[in-house]
């Protein structure tokens, strides 16, 4: 595959935002342990797995400037009227609630693909993240050379 390629793939399931690392103190000790929440780890692994299954070892070169696009398709909230469901599916109503912080969603995607789709996420020089409602929850990811 050439480096002018645009790669794209879909990760089905609820989009997830990158959660802050958690720090806990061991009981009866001064030892402190920091860990990444399991939900974050699972989603990063899922994204990496889908990328690897689709692009089998392809990685953009070390000094290639990249654009990362991620579209997050979120569940329609329960109890939404039929009229509003139609507006949500058409994109007329977009998600604005605090249930999905888009920059943390993008951070999770960028981190998940580090060392897999590119050498380092510092190669990303442009990002576009968008969120929509859908009856098919998923994350659509596209990476291209700038």
Over residues 84-124, the pLDDT tens digits come to 999 999 999 999 987 789 999 999 999 999 999 999 999 99
pLDDT band at residue 34 under the 50/70/90 scheme: confident
Q: Considering just the CA atoms, what is the radius of gyration of the chain in Å?
A: 18
φ, ψ at 53 (rounded to 5°) = -70, -30
Q: What mean pLDDT comes out for the span 135-142?
A: 97
Q: What are the pLDDT digits (tens) for 45-77?
A: 999 999 999 999 899 999 999 999 999 999 999
Q: What are the pLDDT digits (tens) for 76-86?
A: 999 999 999 99
Q: Among candidates 132, 137, 113, 120, which has minimal Cα distance to 55?
A: 113
**How does 8-37 read in b/e, with b if 16+ C-beta sit within 10 Å?**
ebebeeebbbbeeeeeeeeeeeeeeeeeee
Over 60: is that where the pLDDT of 135 sits? yes
Report DSSP letters for the chain, one per residue.
--TT-EEEEEEES---PPPPPEEEEPTTS--EEEE--HHHHHHHHHHHHHHHHHHTT----TT--EEEEEEEEEPPPTT--HHHHHHHHHTSS---STT--HHHHHHHHHHHTBTTTBS-GGGEEEEEEEEEE-SS-EEEEEEEE-
Domains of the chain: 6-21+31-145 (3.30.1330.70)
């Amino acid at each position: 595959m050439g480096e002018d390629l645009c790669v794209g793939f879909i990760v089905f399931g609820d989009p997830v935002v990158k959660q802050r690392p958690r720090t806990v103190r061991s009981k009866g000790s001064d030892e402190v342990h920091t860990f990444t929440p399991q939900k974050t780890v699972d989603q990063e692994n899922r994204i990496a797995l889908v990328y690897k299954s689709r692009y089998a070892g392809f990685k953009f070169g070390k000094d290639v400037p990249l654009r990362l696009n991620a579209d997050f398709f979120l569940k329609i909230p329960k109890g939404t009227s039929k009229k509003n469901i139609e507006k949500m599916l058409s994109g007329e109503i977009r998600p604005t609630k605090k249930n999905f912080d888009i920059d943390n969603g993008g951070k999770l995607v960028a981190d998940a693909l580090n060392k897999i789709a590119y050498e380092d996420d510092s190669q990303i020089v442009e990002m576009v993240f968008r969120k929509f409602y859908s009856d098919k929850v998923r994350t659509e990811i596209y990476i291209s050379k700038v």
